[in-house]
Every structure is written in structure tokens, then in C-alpha cells.
Amino acid sequence: MTEPPKARRSLHARILAALGAGAVAGVVVNQIALRSDRARTIVGYLIDAVAHPIGQLFLRLLFAVVVPLVFCSLALGVTQLGSMRHLGRIGGRTLTFFLITSAFSVALGLAVMAVFRPGEGFDDAVRQQLMTAYGGDAAHLRQTADQQNVGTLLGVVNRLLDSVLPRNILAAAVKMDMLPVIVMALLVGGATSVLPEPHKGRLSGLYEAVAEAMVRIVELAMRLAPYAVFCLVFSVTARFGIDLLRRLAIFVMLVLGSYLVQLFILYPVLVRTMARMSPMEFIRKTIPIVVTAFSTSSSNATLPTTMRVAEQELGVRKTVSGFVLPLGATINMNGTALYEGAVVLFVAQIFGVHLSLASQAAVICLAVAAAIGTAGIPGGSLPLLMAVMAQVGVPPDGIAIILGVDRLLDMGRTVINVMGDVACAVWVERTEAAREARSP
């Protein structure tokens, strides 16, 4: 029942066209809404009553399959891998890739802001305006950051335990906390692999069947994608303050430019040198992932598409994709890491806070940790970003200055986050294939 490649390609083209059309329609409608109160009301109605539900239907279909898909793919992968040593090897490579690319990304974000210094000489009146307009949102985020802040050592240890293996694993799954779901799937897969037959075979069959059924739901969601992507992008651009974009233009362009460096230089170089894959092929085949990540702003919502494309288009085996991609969507956020470095330095420049090289090195470590802890949902990084700012003496409320353009930049950084996972998966796939070729 899986669609033939040609039909898939035409669907991809339609989704891409919908993204462009949604952006243009949104900008046009945004300008019309500025003309009168009546126009603004009609546009608000169009967004809330038409575009929003269509976009949400798509998003919710994707979210609905994430937990069962990740759990079953991973449990099946571990059962089939059989030995924990094998898993340790894949895990070691994956984590090394994630850590190095994340640290590089924060350093890139810092370097770009240090060279161009967009925050120096930032208009004081504009700063005040932005702080007033978005100060409420920043205070709200601060509350979330404070709730996550656990003062004592015991508190920190318990928080760490909770985020990896909480007492109530089902509650974590219900909240879509992916790290505990991943840990549980590893445990269940490991336990299944040592069961005698017929139990082992039956359970593997069950994991495989559930994962397959979830992929069918993703395929259904993808049929809706051209309309949903149009609506999601339209909702963002129609509401967007173009005027705000103008005032933060240099910052926005620097961040978007750095994303492009990651997407078109860093990943292609890694894919070419480490995975021996043509960068053009890599980019062409991953277009559905890029479009889904861009329009949903969520690594989690994109995960089912990421897994499907990695397996069906890039030839990544299920045992690798089922392990690397869910882990990546949860802890590998290169775009977010870059963004955090860039925002910390930009806001520091605006407030005249000097960050020494040692503080910038601290930002790299903190931002990598924060990116690991970031939930793969829209705006997931913001509370932790405030915590990083506070740690290095940059006023966290200064985040208000960039909040108005955050959604747009979130769309871009989610693409980078997810593409980093895919680059890692094709590399691990290549190393596994090479190993098999050496010792069949």
C-alpha cells in the first residue's frame, strides 16, 4: 500500500509549492489587515476558524503516532540488534556526532554575532518598545524557567533521574517526554531479545506491526500535508509583524544566514566525507523533512516523517533509524544550539554586558546542555535559553527583544535540528554497512 516513488515525488513538489504559496498569501493578507479594523477582524477569523484547524489536524495526526512509533521501532531495533555491544557502538557514535555538531553550532552562533555585532548601537527607543510589548511573554517564560530550576544538589539529581527514568513511565509518555520513552523502549527491547521463542518472535512481530500501522497513519497525514502546510505557514506570516522584522532585520538575517551555513555547508560536508553520499541527493530526498519541520516548528511532530524518509528514500535500516532519529529529535538540536549562542551574545551587546572568552566558553557548554534538555516542540528552547542567559550575567528578560521574531526563527532552527539527526543517521548507516562488508 506504500505509495510508488513517482507519486511521492509529486506530493513533495505540491507540499513545497504549498509552503511558498502559504508564505506569500500570509504576507499579502498581513498587509491587507493593516488597512482597517474590519479587515483585521476578517483576517483573524480566517486564521482562527479556517487555517488553524486544518493545520492542527495534520499536526495532531503526526503527534498521535510519535510515542507508539518511537517505542515500537526502537524496541524492535534493539531486539533485532541482539547484542548490547552492538547498541553501545551505534550509541557511542551517535552521541559523539551530536555533541560535536552541537558545540560547533553554538560556537558558530557566537562567532557570527561577535563579528557583526548587531546588538551594539541598537536603538534604545526600539529596545524599550520591544521590552514593553513582549515583557509579559518573557515573564511567563521566566516562570517556566524558575519551575525547572532546582536549587539543591539532591534536587538536581532527582530532576536528572526524572528526565531519564521517572517513577511513572506512562505519565511521561502521556506528556510526550521522549527521553523516558526511549529508555523504556531500550529496556523492553533488550529484555525481549533474551526471551525464548515463541515469545521473542511474537513480541517482535507485534512491535513491527504497530510501527507499520503508524507509518500508514503518517502517509495519510502526508496526503493532507499540502493544505496543512499552506495553512500553518499562512497563519504565521499573516500574523507576523513585518514592521518588527524590519527592526530586527540584521539579527534575523544573521541567524537565518547561519542556518543556511549549517544546512548547505556543514551537513553536506559531513554527509559527503563521513557517509560518502552525494550532498545533492541528500538535500533532494530530504525535502519532505525540511518542509514538515519548517511548517510544524517541532522536531517531535516531524519525527514520523523523518523516520519514513530516512528508511524509504535514504536507505537507512530500521535498526539504525529507530535508534538514532528518536534520540536525535530529543537531544540533538544544532539549530537551537546555534540560536542560543547567537541570542545570548546579541542581548549581551544590547545591554552592554561584556562576555569574556571564558564566559563565552561557558555559554558553549551551557547551550549544548540546554539544547539537549530542550523539548522538540515550538518554542521549546526558550525557558532554558533564559536560564543560560542568567548564568552568564545577561539579563534574561532581555529575551523579550527577540520574542516577536522567534516563531520565524524557530521554523528555521527546527529544520536544522532535524537535518542534523538525518545526517547522523546516514553516517551511522554507512559505518554499519561498511562493518558488515568487512565481516559478513
Q: Interface with ligand ASP by CB under 6 A: which residues? A: 297-299, 333, 336, 374, 376-381, 410, 413-414, 417
Whole-number minimum distance, CB 88 to ligand ASP, in Å? Answer: 27
Nearer to ligand ASP, 360 or 374 (CB): 374
Q: How far is the CB of 176 from ligand ASP (least distance, A)?
A: 12
Least Å distance, CB 300 to ligand ASP, is 6
Burial 154-185 (b: 16+ CB within 10 A, else e): eeeeeeeebeeebeeeeebbeeebbbbbbbbb
Q: In terms of CB distance, is 295 or 374 closer to ligand ASP?
A: 374
Grid-cell match 495532531, residue found:
60
Taking the complex as a whole, how short is the minimal distance between the CB of residue 369 and ligand ASP, in angstroms?
A: 14
The C-alpha atoms of residue 340 and residue 344 are separated, in whole angstroms, by: 6
Q: Cα(242)–Cα(143) distance, rounded to whole angstroms? A: 29
- Give the residue from 416, 17, 26 showing the smallest Cα distance to 234: 26
Nearer to ligand ASP, 376 or 404 (CB): 376
CB of 296 to ligand ASP, least distance (A): 8
DSSP run (H or E) holding 84: helix 84-116
Q: Is the CB of 102 or the CB of 414 nearer to ligand ASP? A: 414
Residue 210 or 347: which CB sits closer to ligand ASP? 347
Instruction: Indicate the residue among 79 and 414 with the shorter CB distance to ligand ASP.
Output: 414
ω into 198 cis (within 30 of 0): yes
C-alpha cell of 370?
540546554
- Closer residue to ligand ASP, CB minimum distance, 238 or 418: 418
- Nearer Cβ to ligand ASP, position 71 or 259? 259
- Contact call for residues 321 and 73 (beta carbons, < 8 A): yes
CB atoms < 10 A from the CB of 150, how many? 14
* C-alpha span between 94 and 429 (Å, rounded): 11
In 240-333, alpha helices (H): 242-247, 249-261, 267-275, 279-285, 287-296, 299-312, 318-331
* Shortest distance (Å) from residue 422 CB to ligand ASP: 13
Judge contact between 251 and 409, C-beta under 8 A. no
- CB 417 to ligand ASP: min, Å: 4
Contact 40, 288 (CB under 8 A): no
Least Å distance, CB 297 to ligand ASP, is 5
The rounded Cα 228 to chain-centroid distance in angstroms is: 19
Alpha carbons 294 and 413: distance in angstroms, whole number: 8
**CB closer to ligand ASP, 118 vs 373:** 373
Q: How far is the CB of 332 from ligand ASP (least distance, A)?
A: 9
